[in-house]
A = this chain, B = another copy of it.
Amino acid sequence: MALAQLEPEGLDAEGQNWQQRKSIQTRLAILEAAIDCLQEHGFARTTTQLIAQMAGISRGAMLHHYATKQELIASVLEYTFFKRMENFLAAIRTLSEDERVDRNAGIEIYWESLLTREFGAYLELMVAARTDSELREVFLPKARHYERIERAEVARAFPEWQDDPDAYDLAMDFCISAMQGLLFNREIWEDRDRRIRLRRFISTAIVMLRSGALAA
């Protein structure tokens, strides 16, 4: 149940020969282009043509690497989750114990991870999967798998929770819900100060949950 287990295969290995290196490079360009497309135009308007164009290759070349759109989307799913998670955990590890435990700085880092291109694309797939049955069948099993990995990895990064696993689970559910909900309403709620106040409130609630003052 470790993050490293699901590092996208075929993208990291420094290939020996020219063709492998070229292939990896092109695949990465396609994935990054797909992320941009998803973020900017949404899943529905993310056409294979647009991705290829943004990646700077022909559609034919793209369909050589990813035979179908579904196959590409599955790769984007893995890639965005892994990249975001890796960056998030790396950022958490840079925190001092004081910042992490007493000042609850992980919350803001989590919030920032929701504002990345990677999560933008992931989110787009997440909402599209609610109504697109094909995507749903690809997305749900993966999302549930990722969720378990995320929980385990984050638990390791926040050892101060380890003596109360129930509270930790609740805090995770709570943090994810509240933050993602805020993300969705961000554009409707124009008042930035109010959004900041909400994040501070969420943070306070989590601290109180950890201290046992806010038992469910």
Contact = CB atoms under 8 A, between A and B. Distances in A.
Given A173-B198, A194-B169, A130 B182 contact: no
A160 interface: no
A181 B188 contact: no
Nearest to A135: B42
Given A44-B43, A131-B42, A170 B197 contact: yes
B187 A130 contact: yes
A41 interface: yes
A42 B184 CA distance: 17
B180 A176 contact: no
Q: Classify chain A's interface size.
A: 35 or more
A134 B179 CA distance: 27
A126 B19 CA distance: 44
A173 B194 contact: yes
Nearest to A197: B216
A198 B180 contact: no
One complex includes copies of this chain to the number of 2
A77 to B, nearest CB: 13
Contacts of A179: 177, 181
Contact of A176 (B41, B174, B181, B209): B181
Contacts of A201: 170, 174, 209, 214, 216
Interface centre among A128, A130, A132 (most CB of B within 10 A): A130
Contacts of A130: 42, 187
A124 interface: yes
Contacts of A170: 194, 197-198, 201
Contacts of A200: 216
Nearest to A169: B194
A170 B199 CA distance: 10
15 contacts: A42-B44, A44-B132, A45-B132, A127-B184, A174-B178, A174-B198, A174-B202, A177-B177, A177-B179, A177-B182, A178-B181, A179-B181, A180-B185, A201-B209, A204-B214
